[in-house]
């Protein structure tokens, strides 16, 4: 992205002033290097987002940003509940793709010689890869319950987990406003035993050690300590969520003539926020979000079983579970007033402080945790929000490092054997369903996580709590 088109506020904050058809400015959080490395399509896409009807205050672009479908990934946009719009491209096709971090009572020395065994056991127990099916077969009534009750149903009806875990999941593990009738039969068919499966692409399960603590007080509240073994899993709503995205792209396209909307870019299909189609889409998104919460709940229970099969007497707890492809109705301060807005977070997570009423009770003093995944062989981080972010970014922050290279390019410059060898040098065990898929997600294809973290810290969006080092990775 060319810097000459932007005004510099600081070394970590820039603004693209509204011009042409833009309705609001774009605020960009990145250092000079990260900005210059963003491809031109990110610039074009974020300009298009800022030109949508009813967009409020500003559009936000985060340092992990790269081009996506319609909206860039790493983008946040807010729309007036009455005069704005909702857009499928602003959420994406893997609805409520998110991250859960599971703490244990283990230290590194407990598993030092068992990393291979644990990773192989995870790989065997937790289905992963394209179209992978799990062992849970749901009736239509049960699917309805999962889509409307989320992780709550998994715990209460399947006994997979503890009720107190719901306090450590965004939205309490059950997104409000879900309506089973908003989901098509085709989407329901694509569920087909996918509850409790990891999926493919950039989804993963990682065995990690807490290498460094930056904020002792918050780390203690989060249940983290140095040298502790934790597990992070990253996955979403699988085929069901993808089909919901496809379905509503078609619905929005058909609604265009009804609302006299002329689209220059099909990827930015939208409908008025007050329309029946928007209300139906919101209900379907919440259903997919609940499926993703339920999916991660099942997998975390399987993680507990594996660790106790291999080691015995292992305590596991959910530190937090947070989504990063979401559509939420939230109250935010705009000027001197508080307004209810549709917040589209595409590749971005909530970053709420303890002052927010939606932060779970256990974290109302510290603020909610933010789990930032690295790429295989690089660090991951636990962050928490800063008050400045509530106004700067609608209480949002990064979700990961962000791609710097296409999947095609990664396969051109790297082989699976080379990737495996590079990870072995870092003492990271890799187990992947697809050799090609693993190469596509290699560390070389991602931005430097340290630069991305440094940016959100120095821009006063988030603060570091802990750094996690990978020991082993399971990929689809």
Tell me the per-residue pLDDT of 98-156, one tens digit each, with 9 for 90 and over: 999 999 999 999 999 999 999 999 999 999 998 889 989 999 999 999 999 999 999 99
388 contacts 461 by C-beta, under 8 angstroms:
yes
Q: Which two tokens stand for residue 331?
A: 């109250």
Query: Considering 304, 324, 399, 408, which one is annotated as catalytic?
Result: 399
SS3 content of the chain, % helix, strand, coil (to 5): 40, 30, 35
For residue 363, what are the contacts with CB-CB under 8 A and spacing of at least 6?
221, 222, 320, 354, 369
The HSE-up count of residue 321 (CA atoms within 13 Å, CB side) is 34
324 is catalytic: no
Paired with 383 in beta bridges are 370, 464
Residues of the chain with pLDDT below 70 are none
Q: Which domains, from first to last, does the chain contain?
A: 3-475 (3.90.1860.10)
Number of H helices, E strands in the chain: 15, 19
Q: Ramachandran region of residue 408, left (φ > 0), alpha (ψ -120 to 50) or beta?
A: alpha
DSSP 407: H
375 contacts 442 by C-beta, under 8 angstroms:
yes
Length reported for the chain:
476
Tens of pLDDT, residue by residue over 51-72, are 999 999 999 999 999 999 999 9
Q: Which two tokens stand for residue 232?
A: 């992070």
Q: Which two tokens stand for residue 118?
A: 């644990």
Q: Which two tokens stand for residue 239?
A: 């085929």
DSSP 143: H
SS3 183: coil
Q: Which of 263, 272, 402 is nearest to 346 (CA)?
A: 402
Report the DSSP pairing between strands 25-28 and 228-235: unpaired
């Amino acid at each position: 992205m060319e810097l000459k088109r932007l005004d510099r506020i600081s070394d970590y904050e820039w603004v693209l002033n509204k011009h042409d058809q833009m309705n609001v400015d774009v605020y960009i959080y990145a250092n000079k290097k990260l900005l210059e490395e963003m491809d031109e399509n990110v610039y074009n896409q974020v300009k298009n987002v800022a030109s949508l009807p009813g967009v409020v205050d500003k559009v936000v672009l985060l340092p992990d940003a790269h081009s996506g479908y319609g909206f860039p990934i790493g983008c946040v946009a807010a729309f007036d509940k009455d005069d704005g719009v909702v857009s499928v491209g602003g959420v994406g096709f893997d609805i409520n793709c998110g991250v859960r971090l599971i703490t244990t009572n283990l230290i590194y020395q407990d598993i030092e010689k068992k990393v291979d065994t644990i990773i192989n056991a995870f790989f065997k127990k937790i289905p992963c890869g394209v179209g992978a099916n799990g062992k849970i077969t749901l009736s239509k009534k049960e699917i309805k319950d999962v889509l409307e009750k989320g992780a709550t149903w998994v715990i209460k009806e399947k006994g997979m987990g503890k009720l107190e875990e719901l306090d450590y999941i965004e939205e309490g593990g059950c997104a409000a406003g879900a309506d089973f009738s908003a989901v098509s039969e085709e989407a329901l068919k694509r569920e087909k035993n996918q509850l409790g499966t990891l999926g493919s692409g950039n989804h993963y399960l990682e065995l990690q050690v807490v290498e460094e603590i930056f904020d002792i007080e918050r780390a203690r509240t989060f249940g983290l300590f140095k040298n502790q073994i934790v597990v992070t899993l990253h996955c979403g709503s699988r085929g069901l969520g993808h089909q919901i995205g496809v379905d509503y792209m078609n619905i929005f396209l058909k609604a265009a003539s009804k609302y006299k909307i002329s689209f220059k870019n099909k990827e930015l299909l939208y409908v008025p926020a007050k329309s029946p189609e928007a209300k139906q889409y919101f209900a379907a998104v919440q259903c997919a979000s609940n499926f993703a919460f339920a999916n991660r709940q099942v997998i975390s229970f399987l993680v507990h079983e594996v660790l106790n099969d291999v080691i015995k007497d292992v305590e596991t707890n959910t530190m937090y579970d947070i989504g990063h492809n979401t559509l939420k109705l939230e109250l935010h301060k705009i000027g001197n007033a508080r307004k209810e807005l549709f917040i589209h977070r595409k590749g971005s997570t909530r970053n709420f402080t303890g002052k927010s009423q939606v932060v779970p009770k256990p974290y109302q003093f510290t603020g909610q945790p933010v789990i930032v995944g690295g790429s295989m062989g690089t660090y991951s981080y636990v962050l928490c929000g800063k008050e400045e972010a509530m106004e700067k970014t609608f209480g949002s922050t990064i979700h990961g490092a962000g791609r710097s290279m296409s999947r095609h390019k990664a396969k051109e410059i790297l082989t699976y054997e080379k990737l495996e060898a590079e990870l072995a040098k870092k003492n990271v065990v890799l187990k992947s369903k697809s050799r090609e898929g693993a190469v596509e997600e290699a560390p070389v294809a991602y931005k430097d996580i340290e630069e991305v973290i440094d940016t959100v810290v120095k821009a006063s969006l988030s603060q570091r709590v802990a750094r996690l080092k990978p020991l082993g990775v399971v990929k689809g």
